[in-house]
Amino acid sequence: MKLAQKGSCDKLDRKSFPENNYDCPFRKADEILDEFKDENLSAIIVDFHAEATSEKNGLAQYLDGRVSAVLGTHTHVGTDDWQVLPAGTAYVTDIGMVGAKDSILGVDKKGILKTFLTQIPEVHEIPEEGICTVNAIYLEINPKTHEAVKIKKIKEEIKI
Ligand SMILES: [Fe+2]
């Protein structure tokens, strides 16, 4: 499937997040894949750094069978929807973070809470010790077909 035409998704993310102003990710993906179409790549992994879960899912469905994996990032919160899509693309809406467990998205919670309560921005302090949550994705890809064979969530906690 390759349907993204100029203008078709320029305002897609701006409906939910009007402060964003960047290229349409669907058209950009088409451009990049076209640019590398003659390369002998054993895998193509897309890190889709975005907020809206629907857009991440939409891009994965759009690229299913054309890339090995679409892995969402940015929210810091891992999702439990990892899967191999029908045409062979591995997908997860968000991998999740590697960061302090006793925090708000990996940042010291006192400063973030103060910002929420006062609307005055605080410096983000990153905890340097304590329990660290490690979120990751394990992928197996067939290098001959570029298709994903397996996707699995990894979630561990370690003490630093
Ligand atoms: Fe981000």
Determine the distance separating the centroid of ligand 1 and the alpha carbon of 31, expressed in angstroms: 23
Which of 49, 148, 41 shows the shortest CA–CA distance to 95? 49
Please give the distance, rounded to the nearest whole angstrom, from the Cα atom of residue 105 to the centre of ligand 1: 11
Say what the pLDDT of residue 7 is. 54
Q: Name 29's Cβ contacts closer than 8 Å, sequence gap at least 6.
A: 4, 46, 59, 62, 63
What's residue 15's pLDDT? Answer: 54
Q: How far is the CA of 69 from the centre of ligand 1 (A)?
A: 19
CA of 50 from ligand 1 middle (Å) equals 7
The answer to whether 152 touches 140, Cβ cutoff 8 Å, is no
* Domains with residue ranges and CATH for the chain: 2-159 (3.60.21.10)
106 CA → ligand 1 middle, Å: 12
Give the distance (Å) from ligand 1 centre to CA of residue 145. Answer: 31
Phi first, then psi, for residue 147 (nearest 5°) are -80, 150
Distance (angstroms) between ligand 1 centre and the Cα of 51 equals 8
How far away, in angstroms, is 147 Cα from ligand 1 center? 27
Largest CA distance in the chain: 55
Q: pLDDT value at position 13?
A: 52
Q: Residue 154: enclosing H or E segment and its boundaries?
A: strand 148-159
CA of 49 to the centre of ligand 1 (A): 6
Name the nearest CA neighbour of 125 among 140, 104, 108, 148.
Answer: 108
Question: CA 146, CA 44: separation in Å to the nearest integer?
Answer: 7
Q: For residue 76, report the phi and psi dihedrals to the nearest 5 degrees.
A: 75, -5
pTM score, two decimals? Answer: 0.85
Distance 36 CA to ligand 1 centre (A): 26
Distance 144 CA to ligand 1 centre (A): 33
For the chain, 160 residues long, give each residue's pLDDT as a single digit of tens.
555 555 555 555 555 565 666 789 999 999 999 999 999 999 999 999 999 999 999 999 999 999 999 999 999 999 999 999 999 999 999 999 999 999 999 999 999 999 999 999 999 999 999 999 999 999 999 999 999 999 999 999 999 9
